[in-house]
Structure 1
Amino acid sequence: MPTPVLQYQTRASTRESAPASVSHASVRSFRSETSSSFDTQSNNHKAGSSHSQSNTRRSKQSGAASSKSTGGKDGQSFVAAVVEGRGAGAEVGMCFCDLKTSEIILCQIADSQTYVRTLQKLNLYEPAEVTTEVWAVREENPEPKLEILVPTTAVDPVNSKLVNIIKETMPNSTITPVARRSFNDTTGLECIKKYIVKEGSASLLLGIPTKYFCLAATAAVMQHIVETRHAVFLNHSVRFKYQICTGSMVIDCATARNLELTMNLSSQNDKDTLFGILNETLTPMGARLLRSNILQPLTDERTIQTRLDCVQELSQVEDRFYALKSSLKTLNDVDHLITTFIQVPTKPSIKHSEQCINHIINLKHTLHAITSVAQSLGQCQNRLLVTIHRLLTDPRLEKFSDLIDEVIEKNVVLEKTAVGIRHQRCFAVKAGCNGLLDVARQTYKETCNDILDVTNRYVQEYGINLKVQFNVTMGYYFTTTVDQLGGNDVPLVFINVVKKGKSLTFTTLELVKKNAKINDSLTEVYLMSDKIVGDLSSNIRSEIGALYKASEAIAMLDMLLSFAHQCTISDFVRPEFTDTLVIKQGRHPILEKISPLAFIPNDTYAGSHNTFQIITGPNMSGKSTYLRQVALLTIMAQIASFVPAEYASFRIVDQLLSRICNDDCIELNASTFMTEMKETAYIVENATEKSLVVIDELGRGTSTHDGLGIAFAVCEELIHNRSLVFFATHFQELTTILTAYHNVMTRDEEQKPGISYKYRLAQGSAKEEHYGLSLAKTLSLPQNISTRAETVSLRLTDLQDSARRHSESNRIVSRRRILAQVAHDCVLIQKAAKGMTGEELAIALNDVQQTAVMHLLAIHREGQDKDKDKDIDKDMDKGKGAKEDICVVMG
């Protein structure tokens, strides 16, 4: 740790703002002069102050796009308000405001009693109240609690049903009661009319006045922002959006967590997730859009196909693909930039004035990058790409560039160093715009040159090679090394001496005065530049709608380009959409990327005659992985991404439900079984014919008989509503009992003898039932225990098989399945009949008939043989019951 020798408080103002820079001709010469002088005087010593390094890192441009944008929760800061109607139906109004992008989302939902749509919206936007205290917590803990505004009447005297469900579903969220009078629909409508961007406002204002609940939520959010953020929006500058809940797949919070869509369950990050795997976006806007689409996939096939066409075109034209990637890398967060123009503090300050200059220069750079992206699109064919190109070539964007060039120096470049940012703020506005401004800037330059003279004088006077450095907190200061002192003490003229290792940092009273003079000059520069920059910003705000549209276009282009990137680096195939789920050699998208072992692909087929599929097999054979794989590939297809398979056909799913994890919920004081039953009840209540349901090990949290009974009853209910269900279980009885229904199919994980499993699915029941015995033999159990366990298990299995062989219901089930298969084959023949002659059609139908007759005769002959065996068994074992048989087996 540095050891402070003397503390001296300077008058240097501490300004640390978002960087952006300008390179005026005089500033360039000054920088080159000072840089060469400082380096010569220090004899190229590299030892520098840790203060300078840390502050320089902090002052680097926070909005610069990286090669892969994260776009997770850290990139968003939402404040949300939720209010429920008091009528018989569950009418819920919500308002979400992204404080970084100043986008306000409105929605009003006629929800179910479980509030499934409401919870999905809350999970989609992950609202997080951003105040000074919360940001301080976020520095230590990157996962702040969710802050949701609700009326005080919803929590006093007792929590409403909606609040209780939010707390149960989102235990990490924080419910903030707000006075009921803040939820005023009249005030909300006035806020929308006052702040909404004029362009495109007519359509929203036409239908929103009757949405009383979302208007009330809007009023609460706007008032809360003013009270806690101490900032207001400028008139006609905010983008309001009203979102309907149709046209997207419903994914509840538990399913999003179980499938690891945006958060990994073990590492608690977003890298080893579906979002992390697909996220090759280059802008924060694209990453946010990708995350939103993953949590809320499309259900409109036409829109999906348009996006797929776009992805295919981007991946096929190589030159355009790389040109677009290169152009997008230079883009900052456009949404965040828009916010800087439309949000102003309630109390003006010097800090706000100096930041306004940065924002103008940042906008100039952004407009140049947008032009480059538009040029890279070139002669695109896809209508979506044509629309994006049109939005990026809006004449108003060119007008912005012309307005900026009239006021700001044309040779502006983005600076990243602290001293470069300071020079940028000082010399950004063109010379001649204001005479007093030019005088203040000349004073600033002369004072900086004086620091060079002071440094040369100290070097000559004390014989110490000094290096001048700068940071936003201390201003200019000196650094040297202990070796330069030759064992002598630091001269008394140097104060605020801090030692770290062999490096020394210090200043002098004269240098402190120079820094203060520089700060005074900069204050005058900022105040005189503020009027010029303010007028320029007002002209830009009048057409801010063009920037909003350009941001949306870039986000869509970036996300689709990310999908195209996956096609170039992986063996992905374009999905099709039919009424049948068919996946050939499908692979788990996450495990394929993160696992060091080669992933073994599997086939999937689910048509109208086998909507319920039972997956059996031993532990560690890959049942859970297979269930997640089907769900993840469905999501990828419906967000218009290519999928890892040789061929893929999906049916549009409007709701994805899951029951996978078997963990206690400590936050809710719920056991594994209670959590399991809550999730199961939710699935049974909400599953429809267009739903995809994945259930893993239902009934494992309780006793064997109770678990089997619950699993059977739930399966029967899902079979009746014809949901597309993938059900993994260890209850082998289900593979026999449920085959009475013609739309049930059993599939088993193939395996070698022992415990070496191959993760390959095959149709039919499990061939190896005693995998537990196989595992026990490989461990250190005594031989007599293993032998005895095997004897008892085999005898009990023989008794069960004998009873099953004599069952008349088995023959009935087999006949029904044959007839169901005949109906399915006839449907397929009917679809292909247009391309067949009369003779070919007759032959095909005759083949189906002959095959069915052959199978039915086989079942009839088998039944006659079993009846003979049954008569013999009656003579031999007359009077014996199942209980006596078990007693004999046990000893």
Structure 2
Amino acid sequence: MADKKETPMMQQYRTIRRELPEDTILFFRLGDFYEMFFDDAKTASDILGITLTKRHNTPMCGVPYHSAGGYLERLVKAGVKVAICEQIEDPATAKGVVKRDVTRIITPGTILDEVTLEGNQNNFLAGLYKEKNRYGMAMLDLSTGEFWIEEPEDVLSVQSNLSRYAPAECIVAEEQMDTPEFSELTLEATNTLLTACEDWTFETASANDFLLRHFNVHSLEGFGCSAMSAALGAAGAVLYYCKTELRRNLDHVRTIRVKNPADYMLLDETTASNLELVVPINSNRQAYKATLLNVLDSTCTAMGGRLLREWVLRPLNNLEQINARHDAVELMTNNQTYLRSLRDILGDIKDIERLISRIGSTTGNPRDVRAMGVSLQQMPLMKSLLINKGTMLEILGEQITSLPEIVALIESAIVDEPPINLKDGGVIREGYHPELDELRDAATQGRKWLADFQASEMERTGIKNLKVRHNKVFGYYIEVSKANVALVPEDYIRKQTLVNAERYITPELKEYENKIFGAQERSVALEQEIFNEVRRRVVDHLETIQKNALAIGQVDVLATFADRALANNYTRPLMNDDGRLDIKDGRHAVVEQMPDAERFVPNDTRLDRETHQLIIITGPNMAGKSTYIRQVALITIMAHMGGFVPAAKAEIGIVDRVFTRVGASDDLARGRSTFMVEMQETANILNNATPKSLIVLDEIGRGTSTFDGISIAWSVAEFLCKNEDMKAKTLFATHYHELTDLALTLQNVQNFSVLVKEKGDSITFLRKIVPGAADKSYGIQVARLAGLPNAVIERANDILTNLEEGELGDTGQPKLARKRPHKLKANISQLDLF
């Protein structure tokens, strides 16, 4: 029960706070500050590093209203939800306590303009729901209006999507939060806030009702998703959460799209990470550049930047659509003047997808509207360049709609460089609205009148330092120094005495003050009315602008592919459905671009299901095995994205999935050792690969004893080659030379190795992949290059000699009692265990 001595304002605060979830901080507007009280103040002061004070034993802290954005950003990034409580009536006219209400609740997944968003990355709010044996997923980007659903095949596919799109927030039904399926999901890597929502909002009937009412339709069949009950459950809950619980405006969310997993090459979380598609594995200063996305991203627009990320993570799986992209890229690479013209226009187009979302949700400011006008001005130019070009560029040109009346409206109504805050005035262009011009003239003439009035009073009174000034308490007044008080006329009315001056007013000054203030107030109010009308007319074309944004994004990515193909010497891959992969002089797209990289040595690759289904690659560490097998995977992915590839020539059959098993890592948080992670990743490959898959294996079995490891690696390789339901194209880099014997008995296995030039105890890596197996691993030479002490290197040579000569004791250990003075013999090979 509230304390009887509490002020009405604090009683109002408690009433509003009780309606909010416990995990939400309330920003309570008091004048020019957002104030926080009690536990909210304690939490916020710790996160923000601001002073926690007390008044009447009430903990409190506050942040300035005009600079709240930075504080909000820090709270949201800390995973905190913030409710914004505004004054919803003018304090000057309010009777009693000013009315206040929560206008919106900001969470990591529902940011619009409160916090700076990454321009080239979506800010998704995800919804997850399981219905019987189906998984449903919905993704909403409130900042763009993008809304889509999908029904992944299993929980691993759900995990891959979460890793792929890295939603800022994910809602799950309360009853499913702790189920085995969802408890296995890991969100830490993506820093996703997990929120439990009421179960009934996910149920089919409720979710369908939310969706039907939001889109104002009688059926969802028009969206092609009426039978996707699990996905619709997630989608309906997302809408309810945003609109009802968070009080967000969703008018700009006009459609819902369906994503079918079968339309895309599947890249699981492990593959995306191992190939460093969008996130680098290492975290050093240069690591952020070491990704495929960074190498390819020369996009000109934010829409293109976000779409490129999507295409990198979800390459196509449809031959016709892939070739359509390749045709468009080829057209632009063959006409560089045309490509430059396209990219010049793209460079003048702002982020209209997010601009229209802000404008449509009434948070858009004058600069947003002006930027929209400048961007829409480019649409006729873009359309004229795309039509009659054939390929998908012409199709995209047809999807772009010019809006000359909106361009003309914004151009005539909004000044070239408007202020951000509408209340500052000066937004509407002179000459657009006659009444506004008259009010502005009155205010301007008022300022001139004040200057003339001051000059005339100085002359009339003989007071040379007389000043006409203004403050919020008295309005306009005349200030006279103490030394000149005797010269003050009788018609001056004293208002205030200061230490060194007296302040006066006159009836004439007060009369004109009313005229000036009246004109200024009416001018600002009229500007707001005019601006809101302009904004409303822009929003009338919201769907058209969103469609323009989608088309512009695709044009931008295709033009980027062409730009990178020319800059990096990429070539068009020949795509087919015969299952072969034939690359001439292939290169690693990322490694060759690193500033400190040595000259890159291209290599050929041939994979098929007959004679080159499994390639075993041997050679020393650091020689380039890992780079080689990864580059084949990257070239395959780039081709399926619709881009050109780093190779002299490439013929690539459609691949449904790319699997990787690379390196050594553990997952101690979930009790998984390095070897357990390795085996689970291998199991995923063996259980899910198909004849159309590409598998990249960089060591298997290294996390256990030598004999166990060789046995597992051999068995895996045999399974990949002999299982008729699989026989996936595979590159297998290994230090187990014993595996090369597989080529003696299996006709679909070939041995390749990395050339090494050996001179004495030193070696030089030639980076060239050639047929045949390596005769040794050169591990000790690599250890020497790494800087191991000479004594360790020499002793290792002795032990290796004993091992190679089979000098093992009864326990299987090498006889290490005596040293071998002689050098390694070139004709000694390692033991063949098989």
- TM > 0.5 fold call: yes
User: Does structure 1 retain, via aligned residues, the 8 Å contact 2:366–2:420?
Assistant: no
SS of residue paired to 1:222: helix
2:199 alignment partner in structure 1 = 180
1:851 alignment partner in structure 2 = none
Q: Deviations over 1:631-686 (max 9, x none)?
A: 11111111111111111111111111111131233443432112212212211221
1:153 alignment partner in structure 2 = 175
2:393 alignment partner in structure 1 = 385
2:281 alignment partner in structure 1 = 265
1:245-256 matches, within 5 Å, as 245-256=261-272
User: Does structure 1 retain, via aligned residues, the 8 Å contact 2:413–2:429?
Assistant: no
CA 1:616–1:257 in structure 2 vs 1: closer, same or farther (change >3 Å)? same
User: Does structure 2 retain, via aligned residues, the 8 Å contact 1:615–1:747?
Assistant: yes
The alpha-carbon deviation at position 195 of structure 1 amounts to: 3.5
1:30 alignment partner in structure 2 = none
> Structure 2: how far apart are the matches of 1:746 and 1:493?
98
> Structure 1: how far apart are the matches of 2:654 and 2:587?
20
Given residue 796 of structure 1, which amino acid in structure 2 is its aligned partner?
G
1:47-66 matches, within 5 Å, as none
Out of 211, 214, 238, the position equivalent to 2:231 is 214
SS of residue paired to 2:289: coil
Unaligned runs of 5+ in 1: 1-8, 19-61, 129-146, 345-351, 458-462, 464-491, 495-513, 800-881
> Structure 1: how far apart are the matches of 2:450 and 2:737?
85
Q: Deviations over 1:342-398 (max 9, x none)?
A: 325xxxxxxx5xx45444333222210222322344x64223111122222x3xx33
> Structure 2: how far apart are the matches of 1:273 and 1:259?
8
Out of 314, 334, 339, the position equivalent to 1:321 is 339
1:858 alignment partner in structure 2 = none
The alpha-carbon deviation at position 727 of structure 1 amounts to: 1.1
2:184 alignment partner in structure 1 = 165
2:241 alignment partner in structure 1 = 224
Q: Deviations over 1:541-571 (max 9, x none)?
A: 4443221221111001000000110122121
Q: Deviations over 1:596-633 (max 9, x none)?
A: 32111111111222111111111111111112111111
2:603 alignment partner in structure 1 = 602
Given residue 764 of structure 1, which amino acid in structure 2 is its aligned partner?
G
> Structure 2: how far apart are the matches of 1:456 and 1:755?
92
CA 1:627–1:403 in structure 2 vs 1: closer, same or farther (change >3 Å)? closer
SS of residue paired to 1:127: coil
Q: Does 1:118 align with 2:158?
A: yes
SS of residue paired to 1:659: strand
SS of residue paired to 2:262: coil
1:81 alignment partner in structure 2 = 127
Q: Deviations over 1:89-145 (max 9, x none)?
A: 3x1111111011011112224x14xx23323332332211xxxxxxxxxxxxxxxxx
1:362 alignment partner in structure 2 = 371
Q: Which moved more, 1:285-294 or 1:115-124?
A: 115-124
Q: Does 1:724 align with 2:767?
A: no
1:77-116 matches, within 5 Å, as 77-85=123-131, 87=132, 89=133, 91-109=134-152, 111-112=153-154, 115-116=155-156
The alpha-carbon deviation at position 890 of structure 1 amounts to: 8.6
User: Does structure 2 retain, via aligned residues, the 8 Å contact 1:660–1:695?
Assistant: yes
SS of residue paired to 1:303: helix
1:749 alignment partner in structure 2 = 754
Q: Does 1:645 align with 2:647?
A: yes
CA 1:409–1:255 in structure 2 vs 1: closer, same or farther (change >3 Å)? closer
1:402 alignment partner in structure 2 = 405
Q: Does 1:580 align with 2:580?
A: yes
CA 1:789–1:454 in structure 2 vs 1: closer, same or farther (change >3 Å)? farther
User: Does structure 2 retain, via aligned residues, the 8 Å contact 1:255–1:658?
Assistant: yes
User: Does structure 2 retain, via aligned residues, the 8 Å contact 1:408–1:429?
Assistant: no
Q: Which moved more, 1:707-716 or 1:181-190?
A: 181-190
Q: Does 1:792 align with 2:802?
A: yes
1:488 alignment partner in structure 2 = none
> Structure 2: how far apart are the matches of 1:334 and 1:705?
61
Please tell me the root mean square deviation across aligned C-alpha atoms, in Å.
4.1
User: Does structure 2 retain, via aligned residues, the 8 Å contact 1:78–1:126?
Assistant: yes
TM-score with structure 1 length normalisation? 0.66
SS of residue paired to 1:566: helix
Q: Does 1:551 align with 2:549?
A: yes
CA 1:124–1:520 in structure 2 vs 1: closer, same or farther (change >3 Å)? farther
The alpha-carbon deviation at position 582 of structure 1 amounts to: 1.0
User: Does structure 2 retain, via aligned residues, the 8 Å contact 1:444–1:518?
Assistant: yes
Q: Deviations over 1:389-418 (max 9, x none)?
A: 2222x3xx33xx31563x555285542777
CA 1:529–1:259 in structure 2 vs 1: closer, same or farther (change >3 Å)? same
1:371 alignment partner in structure 2 = 380
1:282 alignment partner in structure 2 = 300
SS of residue paired to 1:751: strand
Given residue 116 of structure 1, which amino acid in structure 2 is its aligned partner?
L
CA 1:682–1:366 in structure 2 vs 1: closer, same or farther (change >3 Å)? same
1:304 alignment partner in structure 2 = 322
SS of residue paired to 1:364: helix
2:509 alignment partner in structure 1 = none
1:610-621 matches, within 5 Å, as 610-621=612-623
Given residue 397 of structure 2, which amino acid in structure 1 is its aligned partner?
H
User: Does structure 2 retain, via aligned residues, the 8 Å contact 1:309–1:382?
Assistant: no
Q: Deviations over 1:292-327 (max 9, x none)?
A: 011000011111111111111112222221111111
TM-score with structure 2 length normalisation? 0.70
CA 1:451–1:670 in structure 2 vs 1: closer, same or farther (change >3 Å)? farther
Give the % identical residues.
27
SS of residue paired to 1:214: helix
Out of 677, 681, 684, the position equivalent to 1:682 is 684
Q: Deviations over 1:691-749 (max 9, x none)?
A: 11111121111221222222222222222220111111111111114642221111111
2:417 alignment partner in structure 1 = 415
Q: Deviations over 1:179-221 (max 9, x none)?
A: 10121333333333334398xx988536433222222112211
The alpha-carbon deviation at position 333 of structure 1 amounts to: 0.7
CA 1:743–1:749 in structure 2 vs 1: closer, same or farther (change >3 Å)? same
> Structure 2: how far apart are the matches of 1:628 and 1:421?
56
Q: Which moved more, 1:668-677 or 1:639-648?
A: 668-677
Q: How many residues align?
A: 650
SS of residue paired to 2:427: helix
CA 1:520–1:217 in structure 2 vs 1: closer, same or farther (change >3 Å)? farther
> Structure 2: how far apart are the matches of 1:297 and 1:267?
26
1:16-35 matches, within 5 Å, as none
SS of residue paired to 1:758: strand
> Structure 2: how far apart are the matches of 1:256 and 1:456?
75
User: Does structure 2 retain, via aligned residues, the 8 Å contact 1:615–1:749?
Assistant: yes
Given residue 742 of structure 1, which amino acid in structure 2 is its aligned partner?
Q
The alpha-carbon deviation at position 535 of structure 1 amounts to: 4.5
CA 1:335–1:729 in structure 2 vs 1: closer, same or farther (change >3 Å)? same
User: Does structure 1 retain, via aligned residues, the 8 Å contact 2:373–2:410?
Assistant: no
2:593 alignment partner in structure 1 = 593
> Structure 2: how far apart are the matches of 1:687 and 1:92?
21
SS of residue paired to 1:589: coil
The alpha-carbon deviation at position 267 of structure 1 amounts to: 3.0
SS of residue paired to 1:690: coil
> Structure 2: how far apart are the matches of 1:385 and 1:690?
30
> Structure 2: how far apart are the matches of 1:453 and 1:303?
74
> Structure 1: how far apart are the matches of 2:733 and 2:438?
78
Given residue 566 of structure 2, which amino acid in structure 1 is its aligned partner?
T
The alpha-carbon deviation at position 17 of structure 1 amounts to: 12
1:562 alignment partner in structure 2 = 560
Given residue 176 of structure 2, which amino acid in structure 1 is its aligned partner?
A
